[in-house]
Structures are given as structure tokens and as C-alpha cells.
Structure 1
Amino acid sequence: MNAYKRVASARACLAMAVACALYATSAAAQEKTNDNAQTQDQHTYFEHVVVTATPVSPLVFEVETKLPRQPMPASDGADYLKTVPGFNAIRNGGTNGDPVLRGMHGSRLNILTNEGNMPGGCPARMDNPLSYVSPENFDRLIVVKGPQTVQWGPGASAGTIRFDRLGQRMTEGGFEGNGHLMVGAFDRRDAAVDLRFGTPTAFVRTTLNQAESNDYEDGNGVAVPSAWKKWNADVSLGYTPNDDTVIQLNVGTGDGEAKYAGRGMDGRQFKREHVSVQARTQHLVGRLNGYEATLYYNRADHVMDNYSLRTPHPQSMMAMPMFANVDRTTLGGRAALTWALGQVELVTGADFSRSQHRNRSGSAAIAPEHLPWVEDARIDNTGVFVEGMWKFTGRSQLAFGARTDTARVHDLRAKTDGMMPRANPSFNQTRTADLQSGFLRFEHNLSPRLAVYAGLGHVERMPDYWEFFSASVGPVGSVNAFTALKPERTTQWDFGVAYRTPALQLWANGYLGRVHDYIQFTNLQMGMMIGARADNIDARIRGFEAGGSWRFAGHWKTEGSVAYAWGENRSQGRPLGQITPMEARGSIAYETQKWSASILGRGVRGQHRIAPGQGNVVGRDLEGSRGFSTWAINTSWHLNKQWLLSAGVDNVFNRLYSEHLNRTGSVDFGYPANPIRINEPGRTLWLKLTWR
């Protein structure tokens, strides 16, 4: 907490800088816009509030992250992903939820920011990768569902998530920019600015943001421990000698704190360091159409304790003031060549990552920086890939890809964790695996408006840091999880249909999968403590997502989506744990060039197909959950071509409800010993001013 207070004045200056930048740059932008007013058309206006993302191609969703969003604009990457049908998150408190897609969690989702990995360090994923992502600091979010791409890293059996911020050539000298200011219920405050200065040959881009919120209240007016604060600052230097080439150097840092109702500790520090170099050239003449390369360095330095943001409860499992400091440094890179070979478009390339994990812990009497770091793990991966598209007729095409990886994990724990540590039987041992992945997908246009596709994908995934090192014990009869867990093998069919006209868009995705050696966590009573066993099982998964939008009359538009996931533990003949319940969303909106208003409804079925005590490293099933429905409203008004004012109310009727995927409340905050889910926020008002 003291470390965070030392930068409080810096954060205040950051917020002031954002506000000043918005004012100064928008004034200049208005002057520039007035000069060109006669040549601009209706498309220069902002789009309206985003409620549901729609696919841009089979299984691919792309969202402009700077657009206003309902519910309240996101505090982290996992929150923003809930815009895409099929996504959910495991709530910890007010921020830093852990993302889940189709009931799949953890490194089954390959998460990239600026084309690099930013894994967190907490053994229980308190600082999951998306904890370090402020969505509006990026230009776009790209999601590929299922094992239907191989070019963005290993193990993406559930999907691939990319937050992208690679610059483009400035068409004119001067500046470009955007930003926002937001206020909301429970003392929510956001400020952000994204500015580019330069010429058509070179530019400097600065991205700043600061956000915070107090504890929210549920539908009964009961405060839920959930306060948080975050700030980020990033600078990019770009060289653009022509329209098709960009070379960019990125440097960034950030920090934050978060109170967690569902954890035994809070996060008092989420410090990140980022350096990367990116290069891209496209539209070359000849068979070699383009190339891209990335080299990156990411470091997460996370401190958690039970005394900075709470008072330890004498009846809790951790009655004494304690802290734990973990860090994870990742160095990686990627290079790819794009080929134009007649009817075949091809991408070939390679990537690598080298990750080091360290820890130190102690009591409140000593500061973390006074203790030495202890390295406990090294995780390496090297892969090569080929991915392409063969357009063999005017109406049909075949997407394909193949990948091979070599994964190595080195166990450097001299002793085991827990109240009574002992010598680690797998100390200094290395696990190595050669992993194969690939996919084949047929796409066909039945007509200019109607398209169908079907694809088969296979992914082999090495157990990640949390699966190897966080479990108390491994499979029955094993020394520990590190020595015994097997790589996961997922084989999955994905299929779907899309229908598009200027007024009507409909789409549906379905999937059927088998997962051999699925890694499952099970609660394990260990004396007075509850540990976890990590084990391999065989599983089946299936489900679907569907949605659409219809501009049915003039300015009127309706949107909707539904998502369903199902999982079975075939080894034990029971449901698979931590599967999201069926969910539907619908909205109706009135939109003009100047203003818009909409109503959004969300309904979630109760989930009674559960596996009590089983799930993943973050959450295990508690008991059956009740269904619920909520309503939200929003409106937006274009003050002029640069300024958009938007406002909304979430949970209009102040419903008391909780999500199925959840953490249990900590006794430190007065929650009972019997597991109780954390309730969602009650009625929430917000107001946002956006400039671009």
C-alpha cells in the first residue's frame, strides 16, 4: 500500500494531464475538422454504444475497444470480453476477473497484447494475464474461437485473444488522438488519452489512463469488498517510410491495487513493465507478399497481502499479517512471412517464449524488497507453424494450418509449499514434450448472402505454470503434479452459418469436442486447510452461440445473442466443473446520426449440472445456481463530430443476484465459513465523455 501511495501524486498528475490533453488537442482537432467540413459525410460520426460483438468471419470476432460499451465500460480485459457471446468471467471482486470461454479456462485461452504474452505470477491467478490489460488503451480486440488458428502461439484449444495496438502511417503531419472521461456509481472514475504526433514518415504515440472505483453495493445495498485502482502509461515510436511498412518501438509501465472479496489476500501491487519492437511490411510485389516480426519483454511484479486493504480475521486460515511477492519475466518473439501463391494465401513462421518465475514472502514486519528473490520455475516454448487459405473456386475455400512445439518446464522449488514444507522430490527436474496442433476448415458461400463452414481442429497443450505448481498434490499415486500431469489433447469440430443483408445479419456457431487428459482440479481436505488435487481425466464438450441484428425500420435496430456450453467428465461419469450456464442477451435501439438510445436485457438460466468441489485453479463448483435476468438502458449524443456523450444505467431494477462462476466470500470481510457466492453490483449509473 505504501508503494502505491508513493505514486498517488503521479496518478493525480496523470489524470490532470489526460484532461488537459483532451481539451487542448480537441480544440486543434475542431479547427482541422472545420477546414474539411465540406468533404466529410455521415460516417465521420462516432458509432453508438456496443452491447454485443458480431463475427467478421467464421469464428472470428473483432471489436473496436475505444467505443462506448454497455454494461459500464470495462475495468479490465476479462470484463470487456463479455461483450463477445460465449465469454464469462470468474469474479474476484470489482476487477481482474478470470476469463472463461465455453467453460474453458486458463492457458486454453492464448492471450496476447501487442503480439506478446504477459502471464501473471500469482499461483492462484490473482493477477491473471488480463489483469494487466486496460482495453481502451488498445485499438482493437480480435477473438478466434476454438482450435481454428495456429499462428499465434501454442495450446489455444478454447480460443485466441489478441489486443492490438500496431500503428499505421499518418496521412498528414500534425496529430491524431482520442480520449475519454467517465464517472459512475460507487465512485468510479476513469480518464484516458491516446495521442499521436508526427509526419507521414515517423510518429510518437502516447497512451495514458487512470481508473478507480470504491466498493460496490449489491441489490440489497450491502457493500461488497471490491475497491480498485489502476494506471498505465505507454509510449510508441514509429517509423513509416511508406503506406505498407511500419517499424515500432513500444515502452510501457503501470500499477494498481485491488480488494478481493473472494480471496484470502488482496492485490496491493500489479506493476508491469513492457518493451517490444514490432515490424510489418505488406503488399509486396511477387510471391512474398509481406513479413512481420515482434520481439518483446514483459515483467509482472505482483504483491499480495492480508493487511493493506483489510484486517486479518482471527478465525481465518491466515490470521497473521502476511505478504507474498511474485514476479514473472517473459522474453519472446515471433516472425512470419506471408505468401501469395496463386489461389493459395500462406503464412509461415516461428515463435518462442522464455519465462522465469520467482517469489518471496514474509510478515508485515519486513518489506518485500528487503528479502531475496527465490526462483522456482522456468518455462520455455519454441514453435513453428504454417497457416493458409486455398480459394479453389469462386464460392468455396479451404482454411488449414499445422504447428509443432517443443515445450520445457524446469522445477526449481527446493521445498514444497504449505505449513510444513519438505524437500521437493522433483527439484531440478525438467519436463519436455513435443506437441502437435492443426486444423482444417471448409467454407462455402451458398449465395452472396448465405455462407456455411465446418472445421476440425486438434491441439496438444502442455500443463501451464498453475497446473504444474499450484496443486497441493498430483494424480493418485504420483509424487506431485509436476511429475505426473500429462499434456492435454483436444479434438474439436466447429461449424456454423452466417446470413447477411444490409438490414439483417444472422449467425450461429456450434462445436463438439473430446479432451483427452483434461486437467481438472478437485478440492482436497488437508487437516484444517483445503488444498487441491490436479488430475487428468477424459472429457466431452459441446455447445453453441448464435446471434443477429436487424435494422427493421428506419432508425430502429434490434440485436440479440444466446450462448450454451455443456461438459462431461467421462472418467467419473459426472458433469464437468465450472461450465457456464445458458445465457441470452437482447437489445432494441433507436439510432440517428446525432443521438441514440437503447434497452438491453440479459437472462441467465440456473446451472444445476455441477461437480461440487471440482473445476480449475481459480474456481471450483459450489452448488447449483439460480437463474436471473437484468435490464440496462443507455443513450448517447454526438455533441459534434469530435465529442460523444454517453450515459447508462446497469441493473435498472436493482436486482440481487450472483453469477454461477464465482469465488466464495472471505471470512476477513465478514462472510460466513459456509461457502457463499459474491453478489453482483446493484443499480449502477455511469456517464462518459468521449473525444476522437
Structure 2
Amino acid sequence: MTNRLKLTPVAFILGALFLTNVQANSLADSLNTVRTAEQSTPLPEVVVTAPQMSAPLTVVTDPKAPRQPVPAHDGADYLKTIPGFSVVRKGGTDGDPVLRGMAGSRLNIATDGQQILGGCGGRMDPPTAYIFPAEYDKITVIKGPQTVLYGPGNSAGTVLFERDTRRAQPGIKSNTSIMTGSFGRHDEVASVRYSLSDFYAEAGATRSHSDDYRDGNGNSVHSSYTRWSSRAAFGWTPDDNTLLELSVAKSDGQAAYADRGMDGARFARSNIGLKFQKRNLSPMVKKVEAQIYRNYIDHVMDNYSVRSPLPGSMLKAMNPDRTTEGGRAAITLNLGDTTQLVTGFDMQRNAHTTRMGMGSNPNTVSYKNGPRVPDARFEDIGLFGELTQHMGKNENSRIITGLRTDFWRAVDERKSSANTGNVTHRNDMLRSGFTRYEQDLTTIPMTLYAGVGIVERFPDYWELISKQSANSTSAFGTKPEKTMQLDIGGLYQSGPWNVTASAFYSQVKDFILIQSNVNKGSATGISIARNIAATTWGGEIGAAYALNKDWKLDGSLNTVRGNNRTDNTPLAQMPPLEGKFGLTFDNQIWSLATMMRTVAAQKRFDLNKGNIAGQDLGASAGFTVFSVNVGWKPRKDLLITAGIDNIANKVYAEHLSRRGAVLPGYDQTARINEPGRTIWLKAQFELK
């Protein structure tokens, strides 16, 4: 540990010496650290390390900004830079995001108001696998069950990937970035928008590739990937208050996985959406919005396209797909000078099918010729309303409350013994709601808040269809979860200080636990879904201190614990205590940042239990890694950044990780080891 700690001051000193030799005039203004609970002006960071809350339970960050450490191309890797998030690791990409120890459909993820669901029964493709963050302008995270506006089941929180749809001045805007790095990594991102007075057209494309990375021991990890996406949109904006947009998108790729016997050979997605918005219709009607969309996922996993199969082994491929269609309509009303109501409905339906093939060589694995076999259909209609009431002198206090009712229908279309024969469909009416009080203090620049939320979550495909139950060959009768959670916290802004803190306590009735390696009288283990009673608690704290207009210290800590009250054991898949600490210099031309990420050992576990993303593998060791980056902004539209992640070439693995599989040519590990020393360089050009 001593040797590793010495790297931090060394990095600071080297960076300082480098900066003193730079002959450039500072163009920076004084560091702006003034924030309120309603609005925030971010510190001028060139490279993002750990975004803080900008409003109660809300984090807003720019996905186009470079990240430290450098993430993969997918949504989960971007989210892990936000305090409270972890990722269940599988290799180089497509990990499952985890917020406060909760994974899967407990975390509601929306892309421009749309729902997207993967097809793999083994979670090879969670929703974030189809999200390319560089395509978006903003990521908003709402922690806890503290909104009802964006879909059902957000017991852990809500993540919104959003694009800027404001009317632009006539002309061309573009954003282009290129990144290269260790292990054959290279990313390309390009987007352009051409605007007339009443119309606009925009297009964008991304491509990301990486070879197998090597851990700190120099051992190769089966983790290569190549992914690409493209998007186009056409909009009509006759005035500043009106928008009508048609958008289309396609993406595909392949990825290697170190945790299983198959890889992702196809991740094809096609999307079409239509969106309408009208603002300021009258003093009472602030906004009317509506949209419809269709997402289609065509996923292929096999054991021969991305890896070299053993001689004489049987080759196989599986080809699930899922079609998700949905829509949303809402109206925002000013019921008075201090009262606002957002009300409306959303709906979605999705159908899942699968087919497979086997053969002795790739040409005989004829899954493409087989019929698609449907196994499940889901439908949901949700009605919601969210009210904000400002109170007190100078409206320095607020009550935000919301109610939501969801009408669910699920159909089990399996024709095998997994379908018990009697129960082929089910209907549930589930309710959710929350109330939060926010208070801006008058004596000190601080906002305090407390909120209570209740969420009834319908079991998802991976809990109902792809698992068994403790008592039958079908988990179709699994009960919905009911979560009751208390959230409290505060935001403090004064002079050079910016401090945020949040804490939560949650009780979950009928928590859906996934338990693997259950014998049930067979020679091989199986995976089942069962309802238990659970309790979780924890929180996050972040602080930034501006030493002067150019230098800033910042850090964050987050922790979560949980108990399985039914089995009297720790609740599985809880991430350990984690901290990030950094020192940053940024004068708007040159920047330097160092970051230390330290993770405690996790000794609380429940072997072979967890969620749809992964199960506990046992205790895990703690670790500390150091990273450093420098940036140069020679002009306002050009940014060049470079960094070294894991400077000490540390060998480590995350606690939330899948078990390493036996793969020809690769060393098997208990968990998936993370990349060793990684060097990267990124250039970004923006034309406005």
C-alpha cells in the first residue's frame, strides 16, 4: 500500500512541473461554485471523475465530456462514474448497472422517453448495452423512488439519457471525437445538425472497438468488442414553442465474454420514434408532449464466432429477439403561481421469442432457418400525476408528491413443461407514489430534504420466464415486489465549498431473489426465483473545495448494506464501501487531474444468491487504483485530453463480477480481473 500511495504526490508534482513550463495566458474567470436546489452551474471540469447532486436526489452530467477512468462505449460504464453506481462485470463491455445495490428492472432506464429491453435470457445484453452515451446531450439520474413520470418499477432510481431538442439558430452544428488507447481501443463519434428557420435535420454515428485487454499480471482477458450505431432525425420547429420530430436509429456489433461459454455475435437494434411538444399554450398550460416508438432487438449468442472452439466440440447458437412498442403523453399545468402539475399516461408492450441451432461446423448451425418460438408477452398501461407546491416566504420550501397506477398483463407462451398448464396469463394492478419535502434554509446556503416513496414492481422477463421457482418448473407465479423507502439529505453551497449528502433506508416485501446452484434432485444445479423480505440502507456524500480559481479538491464516498430477513443472511450483491478522491487544475486552456479510487473489502455475502445480473461468489479483497490525465484546449472548439488509468498496473477485480469461465487460451479467475495500466488519448472538436 505504501508504494502505491507514493504515486499520488509524484503525479501531482510532475503535473505541476509540466504546467509551470506552459507559456499560455489564463482565460478563466473565477471558479463558480454557486448552486441552488433548483439550478446548478457545474465547476469547469475538463475531465469528469465523480459528478455530484445538482438538486435533491438528482445528478446531471454531460456524456460527451471525457471520463476518468476511460469507460467503455456503453451506458453502464458511464453510469459507474456517478457515486452510488456499480457494474456487474462480464468482461470489456455490456456490464449490468447497479444503483445502491439494486439491479435489473429495479433501475428504470429511458432513452429520450423510450423503453428498451434486451433479449438474452442470461443478461448478455442489458438495456445499457444498446445505449451509446456519446449520442446524448445529458444524463439525468434520480435516486430512489422519487418520481413517477418516466415509467414503472423505479425502486432503485431512474436514469434518463436525453437529447437537446431546443430550437436552434439557422446553420450547422457538429461534434466529432476520436479516441485511441491501450489494447487496440479506438472510438469514433460524429454528429451534425443542419437547421433552417422552421426545419432541421441531424445525423450521428459512433463506432467503438477494443481487443482483449490484459490485467495487471499481463494475462489476457476474453473481452474484445466492436460496436457501432447510427441515427437520423428530422424536425419541424415553426416557433420556439413547437417541436415535431421523426427519428430512426440502427446499431449492431459483437462482444466477447469472460464469464460464460458463449459470446455475443449480434446486437442488432432498429428504432423508429415520433415526438411532439408544444410549450406555453396558455398561462395555465405550460407544456403538452406526446411520443410513440418501436424498438426491435435481434440478438445472437454462439460459441464459435468470437472465440476458437475446442476441436470436435458441438457448435451452437441462440437467437432471441424482442419487440418493444410504446408511447407516452403528458401535460404540464400551472395551477397557480406556486403550483405545478404534470399528469398523463404511458404504455408499452413487448414480445419475446427465441430459436436455436446446433452443428459440427458454423455452416451447419442453421438457426436462421428455424421458426421463432414465442415464450412471453408483457403489456403495461401507467397513469401518473406529479404535483409541485412551493410554499413559505420567498417560496423557499416545496412539497413534491406523485401517484402512479400500472395495469400489467403477462402471458406465458411456452409450450414446454416450464408452463404448468393452468396459469398462462396474469393481470396485476400495481401502485406507486412518493412525497418529498424540500427546504431552502435562510440562515445558511443549504437545502435539506426528506422523502418517502412506495413502489410495487412487476416481475420482469428474467424473473418470470427464464427462471424456475422453488416449488415448480415455472416462476410465472412470482409475486410483485413492494418497496418502501425513506430518503433524506442536503446540499450546501458557500464560497469555495460544495457539499452534498444523501442517505436512505428501504424495506422490501417479496423481494425477488435469484438463487443459483439449487439441486432440486438433479445432478446439475439450476437457478430459481423466490420471494423474500429484505432491508437495505446506505448513502452517498460528495464534497468539492476550490483552493483558488484554478485548483480544486474533490471526493466522494458511497456505501450500502442489506439484510435478507427471510434467510437471516446478508442480502447478496451489495457493493462494498467505495471512495474517490482527486485534485484538479483547470485554467480553461490547460488541465491536470489525479484521481484515487479506493474500494474496501467485502466480507458480507450470501453465496450463490443475488439478482438477474449476478450472484455472490464469496468475499472480495479491497483495492486502490490511481489515474491521471492532462488536457489542452487551444481554442474554444477543440479539446485534447490524455490519461493513464491504473498507473500502478494493479491486479484487481470488482466485488460485483461474474465468475471467470474456462476458456481455451485464457487463465481462469474467480472473478473477472479489470484492465491493467491503460493509456488513452482523445481529441474532440465542436462546431457551433
TM-score of the two chains, using structure 2 as the length reference: 0.90
Determine the C-alpha separation between the residues in 1 that align with 2:325 and 2:232: 19
1:282-328 C-alpha deviation (Å, 9 max, x unpaired): 2333211111111010011100001111234589xxx5210000100
- Closer, same or farther: CA 672–655 of 1 in aligned 2, 3 Å: closer
Q: Aligned partner of 1:660: which letter?
A: H
Asked if the contact 1:261/1:669 (under 8 Å) is kept, the reply is no
Residue 233 of structure 2 corresponds to residue 236 of structure 1: yes
What's the offset of the Cα at 1:423?
6.5
Determine the C-alpha separation between the residues in 2 that align with 1:657 and 1:68: 24
1:74-129 C-alpha deviation (Å, 9 max, x unpaired): 32000000121000101111000000001001000111112111100001110110
Tell me, which stretches of 5 or more residues in structure 2 are unaligned?
Answer: 1-26, 33-40
Q: How does 1:633-652 map to 2 (within 5 A)?
A: 633-652=628-647
Determine the C-alpha separation between the residues in 1 that align with 2:667 and 2:565: 34
Determine the C-alpha separation between the residues in 2 that align with 1:552 and 1:530: 57
Aligned length: 638
Asked if the contact 2:44/2:586 (under 8 Å) is kept, the reply is no
Q: Aligned partner of 1:677: which letter?
A: R
Q: Aligned partner of 2:455: which letter?
A: V
Residue 82 of structure 2 corresponds to residue 84 of structure 1: yes
Residue 531 of structure 2 corresponds to residue 536 of structure 1: yes
What's the offset of the Cα at 1:427?
7.3
1:678 to 654, 665, 672: 672
Q: What residue number does 1:210 align with? A: 207
What's the offset of the Cα at 1:504?
1.6
Asked if the contact 1:101/1:158 (under 8 Å) is kept, the reply is yes
1:237-284 C-alpha deviation (Å, 9 max, x unpaired): 011111122111110001010000012210000000010011112233
What's the offset of the Cα at 1:403?
0.3
What's the offset of the Cα at 1:670?
5.6
Determine the C-alpha separation between the residues in 2 that align with 1:198 and 1:590: 37
Asked if the contact 2:651/2:673 (under 8 Å) is kept, the reply is yes
Q: Aligned partner of 1:369: which letter?
A: K
What's the offset of the Cα at 1:367?
3.4
Q: Aligned partner of 2:399: which letter?
A: L
Q: What residue number does 1:5 align with? A: none
- Closer, same or farther: CA 423–495 of 1 in aligned 2, 3 Å: closer
1:258 to 231, 255, 259: 255
Residue 542 of structure 2 corresponds to residue 558 of structure 1: no
What's the offset of the Cα at 1:47?
4.8
Q: How does 1:50-449 map to 2 (within 5 A)?
A: 50-171=48-169, 173-313=170-310, 319-342=313-336, 343-363=338-358, 364=362, 365-393=364-392, 394-415=395-416, 422=417, 424-426=419-421, 429-447=424-442, 449=445
Q: What residue number does 2:36 align with? A: none
What's the offset of the Cα at 1:529?
3.0
Q: Aligned partner of 1:399: which letter?
A: I
Asked if the contact 1:278/1:294 (under 8 Å) is kept, the reply is yes
Q: Aligned partner of 1:382: which letter?
A: I
- Closer, same or farther: CA 241–531 of 1 in aligned 2, 3 Å: same
Residue 584 of structure 2 corresponds to residue 589 of structure 1: yes
1:320-339 C-alpha deviation (Å, 9 max, x unpaired): 21000010000000000001
Task: Report which stretch shifted further, 441-450 or 662-671.
Answer: 662-671
Asked if the contact 1:495/1:510 (under 8 Å) is kept, the reply is yes
Asked if the contact 1:605/1:627 (under 8 Å) is kept, the reply is yes
Q: What residue number does 2:505 align with? A: 512
Aligned to 1:609, the other structure's residue is in SS state: coil
Q: What residue number does 2:469 align with? A: 474
Q: What residue number does 1:451 align with? A: 447
Q: Aligned partner of 1:216: which letter?
A: Y
Determine the C-alpha separation between the residues in 1 that align with 2:495 and 2:322: 48
Q: Aligned partner of 2:404: which letter?
A: R
Aligned to 1:667, the other structure's residue is in SS state: coil
Aligned to 1:289, the other structure's residue is in SS state: strand
Q: Aligned partner of 2:142: which letter?
A: V
Determine the C-alpha separation between the residues in 2 that align with 1:191 and 1:686: 13
What's the offset of the Cα at 1:528?
4.5
Asked if the contact 1:313/1:668 (under 8 Å) is kept, the reply is no
1:174-195 C-alpha deviation (Å, 9 max, x unpaired): 2011110010000001111111
Asked if the contact 1:398/1:440 (under 8 Å) is kept, the reply is yes
1:189-242 C-alpha deviation (Å, 9 max, x unpaired): 111111101213110010111110000000000000000000000001011111
Asked if the contact 1:461/1:487 (under 8 Å) is kept, the reply is yes
Aligned to 1:654, the other structure's residue is in SS state: coil
Determine the C-alpha separation between the residues in 2 that align with 1:500 and 1:570: 40
1:445-464 C-alpha deviation (Å, 9 max, x unpaired): 11361110000000000100
Q: Aligned partner of 2:286: which letter?
A: N
What's the offset of the Cα at 1:479?
5.3
What's the offset of the Cα at 1:372?
1.2
Aligned to 1:668, the other structure's residue is in SS state: coil
Q: Aligned partner of 2:162: which letter?
A: D
Tell me, which stretches of 5 or more residues in structure 1 are unaligned?
Answer: 1-36, 416-421
Asked if the contact 1:636/1:645 (under 8 Å) is kept, the reply is yes
Residue 541 of structure 2 corresponds to residue 546 of structure 1: yes
Q: Aligned partner of 1:222: which letter?
A: N
Task: Report which stretch shifted further, 284-293 or 374-383.
Answer: 284-293
Determine the C-alpha separation between the residues in 1 that align with 2:381 and 2:503: 31
Determine the C-alpha separation between the residues in 1 that align with 2:388 and 2:676: 48
1:499 to 482, 492, 499: 492
Q: Aligned partner of 1:136: which letter?
A: A
Q: Aligned partner of 1:539: which letter?
A: A
Determine the C-alpha separation between the residues in 2 that align with 1:379 and 1:114: 21
Q: Aligned partner of 1:615: which letter?
A: G
- Closer, same or farther: CA 645–672 of 1 in aligned 2, 3 Å: closer
Aligned to 1:553, the other structure's residue is in SS state: coil
Aligned to 1:521, the other structure's residue is in SS state: strand
Q: Aligned partner of 1:573: which letter?
A: N
1:6-57 C-alpha deviation (Å, 9 max, x unpaired): xxxxxxxxxxxxxxxxxxxxxxxxxxxxxxx9xxxx99x9851111111121
Aligned to 1:559, the other structure's residue is in SS state: strand
Determine the C-alpha separation between the residues in 1 that align with 2:571 and 2:311: 35
Q: Aligned partner of 1:535: which letter?
A: R
Instruction: State the Cα RMSD in Å.
Output: 1.9
Aligned to 1:136, the other structure's residue is in SS state: helix
Determine the C-alpha separation between the residues in 1 that align with 2:634 and 2:523: 60
Aligned to 2:663, the other structure's residue is in SS state: helix
Q: Aligned partner of 2:673: which letter?
A: N
Asked if the contact 2:213/2:220 (under 8 Å) is kept, the reply is yes
Task: Report which stretch shifted further, 662-671 or 641-650.
Answer: 662-671
Q: Aligned partner of 2:330: which letter?
A: A
Residue 460 of structure 2 corresponds to residue 464 of structure 1: yes
Determine the C-alpha separation between the residues in 2 that align with 1:645 and 1:502: 30
- Closer, same or farther: CA 367–168 of 1 in aligned 2, 3 Å: farther
Residue 575 of structure 2 corresponds to residue 580 of structure 1: yes
Asked if the contact 1:403/1:438 (under 8 Å) is kept, the reply is yes
Asked if the contact 1:313/1:667 (under 8 Å) is kept, the reply is no
1:365-384 C-alpha deviation (Å, 9 max, x unpaired): 13332111111110110010
Asked if the contact 1:311/1:668 (under 8 Å) is kept, the reply is no
TM-score of the two chains, using structure 1 as the length reference: 0.90
Task: Report which stretch shifted further, 675-684 or 249-258.
Answer: 675-684
Task: Report which stretch shifted further, 239-248 or 119-128.
Answer: 239-248
Determine the C-alpha separation between the residues in 2 that align with 1:690 and 1:528: 55
Determine the C-alpha separation between the residues in 2 that align with 1:542 and 1:682: 33
What's the offset of the Cα at 1:671?
6.4
Q: Aligned partner of 2:476: which letter?
A: F
